[in-house]
A and B are shown apart, each in its own frame.
Chain A
Amino acid sequence: MSITLKALKKSPWVFHVNTGACNNCDIEILDCLTPRFDIERFGIVLVGSIRHADVLLISGPVTKNTLPRLIRLYEQAPKPIKVIVVGACGCSCGIFRDGYNIVGPVDKYLPVDAYVPGCPPKPEAIIAGVVKVLNTLG
């Protein structure tokens, strides 16, 4: 394993994008940064710009309006980038499955590396998902 991949495992920076979620998953994601879980211990920080990101964290079913933005964000991200979907909506559209403005789960458009189901998933589950993604790096 190259040294840069090893370093990537030690400092994955996360860019969080909401593609129409109800905000519940977003609150659980922020819970990971609180003193109780403190994922900065493992070098994980939320960044404000997609250019700095190593992990694209997506919550929510993809709506018609957010789809072009989501694809554009993925294209703008410096590679290698990993995609994690948090919440039942992102994995399978959840309760919004029959909505008139829903164009499908995230994996119809982007290569997803990990799914974290739950409505909302617990912070422990989100951390477990991140660990699984990091293990796919080698």
Chain B
Amino acid sequence: MDILRPILYYAIFPGFIFSAVVGLLTTWVDRKVTARVQWRVGPPWYQPFADTVKLIGKEVVIPANARRTGFLMMPVIGLAAATLASTILWIVNLDPSKSFVGDSLVVIYIMTIPAVSMIIGASASGNPLGILGASREMKLLFSYELPLIISVLTAIVKVGSFSFKNILAYQSEHGVIIWSISGIIAFIVAILCAQAKLTFVPFDIPEAETELAGGSHIEYSGVALAVVRLNMAIMFFVLPIFLITIFWGGISFDGWRILTSIVKYVVIVVIMVLIKNTNPRVRIDQAVRFFWGPMFILALAAIILAKLGL
């Protein structure tokens, strides 16, 4: 049984099936809130599930000039990485004793793999728009990774430890990190970086429905497109949980804290959706300048404030 347990963790709870279901529900929240902002009614709750099931039944078209292996394998690798990040985060949140040294850095590292796999998959598609999307995704990845890591380092400097266990213990002892000056600055930087990581609207430059017609996932169809969308849904689920764990005291399932956990999660998701709905798309050079200029300076200020003990 001890051998089976990690597989169960990874495949069912809190791994693939759980994060896929909650991630798809989160994309429904996104679409519903978007519709309400635009004064529409919006789709029913089962819409993302219907989309996924429909895509499984469609034909998979592989373009004649695509590299078959890379094109089809990369979404699966991204999905595996997103699921792994979700599993680590949930296991650490539910049982802090399972934490290991440096797991926060491992999760940051794993969370870049979906973006990298998307870059390789789009480059293998052989479509000029897809390759353009891949090149933009690469520039975006270079621009947001730096401020995201520095803002997470702010919390690590405050706590003095790399492991989620100590970060969570510090927050239950001294109050959550977000209620300090350095914490709130770092949180703002991190949520904007998360927006770029999910390629949501101010930074949806690699996808750009109206400009690149889907960009990095333009050539995917059928099951492959379902995997790509599932990948994005799970990332939409993982990033708020990651931000809550680092800055906002973590998730818990015991007693009344389950309600506050859900409230925290929904608040972060709705903030992201509102940013998405109230901003126009920026150009790639503006995005790079934004992340390496103001965001980097803010993150540095946060880390200096944290070192000073604020």
Contact = CB atoms under 8 A, between A and B. Distances in A.
Interface of A: 2-5, 7-8, 10-11, 34-35, 38, 40-43, 47-49, 51-52, 54, 76, 78-80
Contacts of A8: 54, 57
Contacts of A47: 209, 214
B61 interface: yes
Contacts of A11: 47, 50-51, 54
A8 B59 CA distance: 13
A54 to B, nearest CB: 7
Given A11-B51, A51-B218, A78-B221, A35 B38 contact: yes
Contact of A4 (B35, B53, B60): B53
21 contacts: A4-B53, A4-B57, A5-B57, A7-B49, A11-B51, A11-B54, A35-B38, A41-B40, A41-B43, A48-B209, A48-B214, A48-B218, A49-B213, A51-B218, A51-B219, A51-B221, A52-B220, A78-B59, A78-B60, A79-B59, A80-B59
B50 A43 contact: yes
A40 B35 contact: yes
Contacts of A35: 38-40
A76 B214 contact: no
B305 interface: no
Contacts of A34: 40
Nearest to A44: B43
B7 to A, nearest CB: 27
Contact of B50 (A2, A10, A48): A10
Contact of A54 (B39, B54, B213, B214): B54
Q: Is the interface of B mostly helix, strand, loop or mixed?
A: loop
Interface residues of B, number: 34
Nearest to B208: A48
Contact of A76 (B39, B40, B61, B210): B61
A43 B53 contact: no
B139 interface: no
B270 interface: no
Contacts of A7: 49-54, 57
Nearest to B229: A52
Interface string B217-236: 01111100100000000000
B225 A52 contact: yes
Max chain B C-beta neighbours (<10 A), residue from A35, A43, A48, A49: A49
Given A8-B57, A51-B220, 6 more contacts: A3-B53, A7-B51, A35-B40, A41-B43, A47-B214, A78-B59
Nearest to B211: A48
Contacts of A41: 40-44
Given A11-B50, A40-B31, A54 B58 contact: yes
A40 B220 contact: no
A2 B56 CA distance: 12
B218 A49 contact: yes
Nearest to A10: B50
Max chain A C-beta neighbours (<10 A), residue from B35, B41, B57, B209: B57
A78 B61 contact: yes
